[in-house]
Amino acid sequence: MVESRREAGAARAQDWGDLSDSDFPDFSELGDIEELGNQPDSLSQNPKKQVNSPESWKRKRRADASTPMEKFHLGCLWVTDLSAQSWCEQQMVYGKELPGFQSEEKTAVLSAGASIHLARELELHDLVNVHISTKEDAWAVKLLNILSMVPILQSGGTIREFPVFGEVEGVFLVGIIDELHYTSKGELELAELKTRKRPMMPLEAQKEKDRFQVSLYKCIFDAMVRGQVTSASLVRHMKLSPERLLGPPVQRHAQQGGFTVKSFGDLLDLTFLSLSLSDLPVIDALKIEYSHQETDSLLGTVMVVFEEEQVRDKLRHHLDYWTGLREPQGVDVKEAWKCRMCDYAAVCTWRQNGGTRMLTEEQHAKKMAK
């Protein structure tokens, strides 16, 4: 097996929100959660949770006309959004509706985690900033990164920050895999690094969220190397124009990587050809490493068993919200402790209503009469 080597300049699009999926808060450590399970909470005080019926939601949706994907102008979903959704769907929605609400503590944890990921990325390759002018330019940068990393993986090397995308269960998903490498047994292993502010392993709820995240990466990566992701699907979902000429900085960057391309379509063809000829294997193993931010010491490693059916069931449930089939839900009574570390606790209607989004008129009348 070939040692990992430095890539000649993976690119990062300037002005493009290329947040690594790894740069995501580890919610479970943003509060003293060991003590939270025993404390009363508005959800646990009202365990008779009643969610509006799917029918009433559908009626409301018909009145609203647009699905959440349309409302938030999303052509795709980030794996991190789905992962956040599995923590608390309502919280993820508030994050979109009320950006800038994030606590300073969470922002600091995020920023420390992002710096560690960046340092690890720089161990393997330099970063080059490429000026972009269009969304085709932005996607071109992703495709050029893929083109530069595929040969390294083919020759047994290690790659970091590998972009993945593709249609899964009818919705276009995008993400960035932290690291791919081969084990001593020759298996292709995905390694996801989670940094933690406190020197202890996360609770099960956080681990569950992380398992879902890496399992989604495997679904998307495997579909890419099996030829199940098509350029037509990328163009359709992201509303891209293959005939659009790439900006001069992107063309120059491509040239430096040995690719002569003029239009976005040229690069699309090249990338999908490279993927189909690469003969890359599917991911064999999923590993999550938890490390302490301050000391950079390893806290523990979790090997994830990929259970495709469960992952797809959960994904479909999440997508039902995005495609307008149901309303968002907050946490269940048994997970009410999550509300205590939530930036939106003061405004959350789910929490205020004791685990329901809206009270029925009858319930409301009863509440007022008390």
Strands 159-168 and 125-130: unpaired
Tokens describing residue 3: 């040692």
E strand spans, the chain: 7-13, 77-78, 125-130, 159-168, 171-182, 188-196, 285-292, 298-304
Tell me which DSSP letter residue 357 carries.
S
Q: Which is nearer to ligand SF4, 35 or 308 (by Cβ)?
A: 35
Strands 171-182 and 188-196: antiparallel
**Which residue of the chain is nearest ligand SF4 when measured via CB?**
330
Size of the site for ligand SF4 (CB under 6 A): 14
Residue list 320-339, contact with ligand SF4 (CB under 6 A): 330-331, 338-339
Q: Which is nearer to ligand SF4, 322 or 344 (by Cβ)?
A: 344
Q: Exactly one of 110, 201, 345, 359 binds ligand SF4 (CB under 6 A); which one?
A: 345
| Neighbouring residues of 282: CB distance < 8 A, sequence distance ≥ 6 | 188, 218, 221, 222, 225, 226
Residue 214 and residue 287: Cα distance in Å, rounded? 8
* CB-based contact 293:116 (threshold 8 Å): yes
Helices (H), 125-168: 135-154
Contact flag: residue 209 with ligand SF4 (CB under 6 A): no
Q: Which is nearer to ligand SF4, 27 or 217 (by Cβ)?
A: 27
Q: HSE (CB half, 13 Å, CA atoms) of 273?
A: 6
* CB-based contact 135:240 (threshold 8 Å): yes
Contact flag: residue 30 with ligand SF4 (CB under 6 A): no
Residue 46 CB, shortest distance to ligand SF4, in Å, is 13
Residue 90 CB, shortest distance to ligand SF4, in Å, is 4
Residue list 33-92, contact with ligand SF4 (CB under 6 A): 88, 90-91
Contact flag: residue 350 with ligand SF4 (CB under 6 A): yes
Q: Exactly one of 348, 353, 354, 356 binds ligand SF4 (CB under 6 A); which one?
A: 348
Q: Which is nearer to ligand SF4, 223 or 341 (by Cβ)?
A: 341
Q: Which is nearer to ligand SF4, 43 or 286 (by Cβ)?
A: 43
Coil, helix or strand at residue 288? strand
Residue list 85-114, contact with ligand SF4 (CB under 6 A): 88, 90-91, 94
Q: Which stretch binds ligand SF4 (CB under 6 A): 159-167, 211-219, 241-249, 340-348?
A: 340-348
Interface with ligand SF4 (CB under 6 A):
88, 90-91, 94, 330-331, 338-339, 342, 344-345, 348, 350-351
